[in-house]
Amino acid sequence: MTSERSYSPADRLLLQADAALRTLLPFTGQPYRASPAEGLPESDMDADEARHVAGLMRINHTGEVCAQALYQGQALTAKLPDIRAAMEHAAEEEIDHLAWCEQRIRELGSHPSVLNPVFYGLSFGIGAVAGLISDRVSLGFVAATEDQVCKHLDEHLEQLPTDDARSRAILQQMRTDEEQHATSAIEAGGLRFPAPVKFGMTLLSKVMTKSTYRI
């Protein structure tokens, strides 16, 4: 018979530090699933198109860095063991997106954003505070965040060159996964945030997208 391992606060802090390093250091997050781009041909993009697509993928990569930090912060302060486990599982699923985006960025001859550590720290803090308030607020924040991510992905899918099948396959699978995360968070009891809160989150997301597109 197996039982859930009990971790001390110090153990959890060490685990969070390990998760942060695996998120921020290049090629340290190993995906659980193969990239949706696997086996698809590379498109014949000119330099400007490749630079634009790399910028879009850099935004999405930073978004996944933020998602990792958000889930890890929430897991650290979640009050119920099942909510903590759900947050940790969601973070594992986001590792796939993180690795896929990074691989695509490298294929396009570019690099992840140098601002990732800043956004990781901010997102971790937000997640931890949400978890301290209540698990319902924490789950609601997940749902609202994933809704924002889906909107960004829809915009990016429209901006991709028509023949860029590799980037398109990655973003389409990411959107499917993110939509499921949002639905699961609400079904688990997440609070539906009012419009003013969502508007504030939209403004913050615009800061992230504008700054990471180029750097």
Which parts are annotated binding residues for Fe cation?
A: 64, 94, 97, 146, 178, 181
The answer to whether 136 touches 190, Cβ cutoff 8 Å, is: yes
Closest CA to 37 of 97, 94, 106, 100: 100
Question: If DSSP codes are grouped into helix, strand and coil, which group holds residue 60?
Answer: helix
Backbone dihedral region of 96: left (phi > 0), alpha (psi from -120 to 50 degrees) or beta?
A: alpha
Q: Could you identify the residue written with the tokens 């023949």?
A: 163
Determine the number of helices (DSSP H) and then strands (DSSP E) in the chain.
7, 0
Q: Where are the beta strands (DSSP E) in 56-128?
A: none
Cα distance between residue 79 and residue 173, in whole Å: 31
Binding residue numbers: 64, 94, 97, 146, 178, 181
| Residue type, position 117, single letter | P
Q: Do the Cβ atoms of 156 and 56 come closer than 8 Å? A: yes
